[in-house]
Structure 1
Amino acid sequence: MFSWGDLYSISETWKETKDSNKDVVVVMIVAYDKNNPSQPLVYAMTINDMNTLEAKLNQDLAATEGANIDAKRKKLNDKQGLEYDKNKNNLEKYFLQKYGSYVISLYNANEDVSNWSKLDLAPGTGINGSVVLPEPCN
């Protein structure tokens, strides 16, 4: 699953991208389900509102102790790693609860990567939603 550092990286990539291409900036990862390591999980993330994402990332950095940005990023990623360990059976839900207010979109590909679904928390459940709903994209 994506890390805090991935959120930071996509924001930096977006800033360096030509204006005409900013709406197609995407970061993808391949992860492995510990319960089914033979089937990789493919995720993609996009930015819906760069101003909100940047403000949230800056808030995180300001609230984190560290001598420089690299030290702060490491602390944020290490902290998130511990949280992922606690939520390892539902990383999608945890990610959406933790970063849903950062105004990004999370997508998951099917097994042969021929179809994608946008992942959201169930309507009406807000940031503390308990159900991840896949919405087919194609």
Structure 2
Amino acid sequence: MKTDNPNNNLPTDNEKLALANIFVTSLKSNDWDTMRSILAADASWTLPGTSLLSGPANGAEAIIKRAQGLKHFGVNFDLKYILIGLTGFTLSLHNTASRGELILDEQVAIVFEVNGGKIVSMATYLSDVPGINAFFIAGI
């Protein structure tokens, strides 16, 4: 009889929920040390498009730099839902910002994978990729 439970190493729902809340709170409050504490050193974050912030961000420091870039552009993060999965969670957000004539109004899903109590990967999905390409440009 097999006694190994393949789910033994999976994060609990409470762990995933806690990480989700810590991520959102640290992002909103510019608490980069707390955010860094929940990221694996080699974590990655992908963001679609061709904007200044698009592409892969590899490593905790690159992820912090991207989060700081979003804040620098004045993005407001409205959390809609935290969705729990088997190995991670997804944040459903409504992100808005304005700068001159430029308006950002995006529905966003960020899919997080968790391992060993840390966020190991993040992938962003957007409702309007051309919108971020136009908004996140040099010159601010």
Query: What's the TM-score bracket when you normalise by the shorter of the two chains?
Result: under 0.3
Using structure 2 for the length normalisation, give the TM-score: 0.26
User: Hey, which of these two has a bigger chunk of strand by percent?
Assistant: 2
Using structure 1 for the length normalisation, give the TM-score: 0.26
Higher relative contact order (CA 8 A, sep 6+): 2
**Greater CA radius of gyration, 1 or 2?**
2
